[in-house]
Amino acid sequence: MDLLQLDDFELIRVVEEDHDFHIYTRLSDETTHCQHCGKYGVVGFGRREQVMKDLPRLGKCSAIHVETRRWHCKHCGKTFYEDLPHMDKKHRMTDRLVQWIGEQTVRRTNSSVAEDVGVTEGTIRLVFAEYVLRKYEAMRFVTPRWLGIDEIHLIKPRCVLTNVEKLTVFDILENRNEQTVAERLSRLNNRKSIELVTIDMWRPYRDAAAAVLPDATVVVDKFHVVRMLNAACEAVRKVLRADLTPAVRRGLVNDRFLILKRKHQLNDKEHMMLSSWLEKYPALAMAYEIKEAGYRIYDAKTREDANAAYEEWRASIPQEMKGTFGDFERAWRNWRDEIFAYFDCCATNAYTENLNNLIRTTNRVGRGYSFEALRAKLLLSEGPEKKAAARPVFQKMLSRDLTMETAVHEMRVPTHYEGRFGTLLSKLPEILRDGNFGSGQP
Ligand SMILES: [Zn+2]
């Protein structure tokens, strides 16, 4: 019986073959009540063997064969087969196998889990998707007051839904289409509680928000706007580079970061190096100053000041630079309301920095993982921080000589918000790095 470790089943015999175990069983208790009318008094009416897949054993697949009986009810005259306990009827697997597939597939590829269990990859994908959904729904994330709709690159661009104030991600969508986003937003609980929506300049997000969250104010974050200034400087640098000797070109490549840095963040040495480049290349100097001036629009404290600063910036662009900074200008034209809305709400530096970090990290994610696995990994994974925090208080006190008061305080510091708001943005790069994601197939 130990081999089976399932209550309600009696072991009859085990047959071991090259690749499988077949475990023959019957139910320990006979059915006594009718499944239809619930009355006592049923009589046997034939037999049938039912098979359910179970956990792999000793490197082999295993299946539990259950000799089940068909019953006839003396009262209502109906017949039925007895239900099998511990069984997921839809997939004809034990419940514990479903659980195991879920846990394994977060870490491994579908194909390797499929091989262990002895089912198709398609079955694994289906079981896993349901597992993730059940887990995800059990977490009941709080709908944020301030929603972020952004993009991260996980093999391909994905939409991420974030809680801007809590700095968490609470969902990741397979793609960035308006339909996908609108459909997901419409399923948020209590979506009227969303007051602000921060988006990057991706039209489908704006359209989805307008359709599903008509009362919320849509804001384009500073980060998405000013990075166009950097892109413009980069374009100028690349054109210059084409005419340089290889040695000079290398220098300009290495010093690329100086051009992208804000002037006030340069140290003395960097300042000197940059000045020498800018003296040599007037076009770069011009682009650099326009970039810096563009950033300064964001020093404005009100929408009116910002508008004035932007108009001043626009008027100051020499004709020959109009094309270079065309994207930036077009953004202010096409996203005017959303860009200016930024000046009405509070700053989001922490959010931006976290997101920026995340965007850089996730580009290393390997192929070979299903979208569900990536999503589960990021949303359901407890992350390294949680594991550390799970050490008992008592042990912590011993090892670090904490008082009870500080130990209790440490326990209370939320690293993962217990799933209520989602995974901390700052933890996601760590989860991606530690999660076998770097090298594709593990
Ligand atoms: Zn009956």
What pLDDT digit, counting tens, does each position of 109-147 carry? 788 899 999 999 999 989 998 888 888 888 788 899 999
Determine the distance separating the centroid of ligand 1 and the alpha carbon of 43, expressed in angstroms.
11
Bridge partner list, 72: 43, 79
pLDDT number for residue 30: 84
Determine the distance separating the centroid of ligand 1 and the alpha carbon of 9, expressed in angstroms.
24
Determine the distance separating the centroid of ligand 1 and the alpha carbon of 39, expressed in angstroms.
6
**Interval 41-52 mean pLDDT:** 91
Instruction: State how far the Cα of 16 lies from the Cα of 41, in Å rounded to an integer.
Output: 39
Determine the distance separating the centroid of ligand 1 and the alpha carbon of 40, expressed in angstroms.
8
Determine the distance separating the centroid of ligand 1 and the alpha carbon of 29, expressed in angstroms.
19
Determine the distance separating the centroid of ligand 1 and the alpha carbon of 70, expressed in angstroms.
13
Determine the distance separating the centroid of ligand 1 and the alpha carbon of 33, expressed in angstroms.
8
Per the model's pLDDT, the better-predicted residue between 306 and 250 turns out to be: 306
pLDDT number for residue 138: 81
Say whether pLDDT at 44 is over 80.
Answer: yes
**Interval 268-277 mean pLDDT:** 90
Determine the distance separating the centroid of ligand 1 and the alpha carbon of 80, expressed in angstroms.
9
**Interval 22-48 mean pLDDT:** 91
Determine the distance separating the centroid of ligand 1 and the alpha carbon of 41, expressed in angstroms.
8
Per the model's pLDDT, the better-predicted residue between 161 and 239 turns out to be: 161
Do 429 and 355 touch, CB atoms closer than 8 A?
no
pLDDT number for residue 220: 92
Mean pLDDT of the chain: 84
Determine the distance separating the centroid of ligand 1 and the alpha carbon of 35, expressed in angstroms.
7
Say whether pLDDT at 34 is over 90.
Answer: yes
pLDDT number for residue 143: 93
Letter for the amino acid at 156?
Answer: K
Residue carrying structure tokens 């770069």: 284
**Interval 182-207 mean pLDDT:** 94
Determine the distance separating the centroid of ligand 1 and the alpha carbon of 71, expressed in angstroms.
10
Say whether pLDDT at 207 is over 90.
Answer: yes
337-391 pLDDT, tens digit each: 999 999 987 666 788 888 888 877 765 666 666 787 778 878 876 533 344 444 4
Q: Which of 27-36, 395-404, 422-431 has the lowest average pLDDT?
A: 395-404
Secondary structure (3-state) at 173? strand
241-270 pLDDT, tens digit each: 888 888 888 777 777 888 888 999 999 999
pLDDT number for residue 366: 60
| 93 contact partners, CB below 8 Å, separation of at least 6 | 52, 53, 54, 87, 101, 127
Determine the distance separating the centroid of ligand 1 and the alpha carbon of 243, expressed in angstroms.
90
Determine the distance separating the centroid of ligand 1 and the alpha carbon of 69, expressed in angstroms.
16
Closest CA to 224 of 322, 283, 298, 132: 298
Say whether pLDDT at 31 is over 50.
Answer: yes
Determine the distance separating the centroid of ligand 1 and the alpha carbon of 87, expressed in angstroms.
23
Instruction: Dump the DSSP string for 57-97.
Output: ETTEEEEEEEEEEEEEETTT--EEEPPPTTEETTTTEEHHH
Residue 120 CB neighbour total at 10 angstroms = 12
Instruction: State how far the Cα of 94 lies from the Cα of 101, in Å rounded to an integer.
Output: 11
pLDDT number for residue 430: 78
Bridge partner list, 14: 23
Determine the distance separating the centroid of ligand 1 and the alpha carbon of 27, expressed in angstroms.
21
Determine the distance separating the centroid of ligand 1 and the alpha carbon of 79, expressed in angstroms.
8
Residue carrying structure tokens 């008061």: 405
**Interval 187-204 mean pLDDT:** 93
Q: What does the buried/exposed string (b/e) look like for 82-99 if buried means 16 or more CB atoms within 10 Å of the residue's CB?
A: bebebbbeebbbbeebbe
Closest CA to 221 of 166, 148, 165, 167: 148
Determine the distance separating the centroid of ligand 1 and the alpha carbon of 118, expressed in angstroms.
38
pLDDT number for residue 385: 35
Determine the distance separating the centroid of ligand 1 and the alpha carbon of 232, expressed in angstroms.
78
Determine the distance separating the centroid of ligand 1 and the alpha carbon of 30, expressed in angstroms.
16
Determine the distance separating the centroid of ligand 1 and the alpha carbon of 75, expressed in angstroms.
5
pLDDT number for residue 53: 96
Determine the distance separating the centroid of ligand 1 and the alpha carbon of 47, expressed in angstroms.
18
Q: Choose from 2-6, 47-51, 250-254, 255-259 the range with maximum mean pLDDT.
A: 47-51
Half-sphere exposure of 386 (CA within 13 A, CB side): 14
pLDDT number for residue 347: 63
Determine the distance separating the centroid of ligand 1 and the alpha carbon of 25, expressed in angstroms.
26
pLDDT number for residue 367: 62
Sequence spans of domains, the chain: 1-85, 88-139, 223-344
Determine the distance separating the centroid of ligand 1 and the alpha carbon of 38, expressed in angstroms.
6
Determine the distance separating the centroid of ligand 1 and the alpha carbon of 48, expressed in angstroms.
20
Determine the distance separating the centroid of ligand 1 and the alpha carbon of 83, expressed in angstroms.
15
Determine the distance separating the centroid of ligand 1 and the alpha carbon of 34, expressed in angstroms.
5
**Interval 3-7 mean pLDDT:** 84
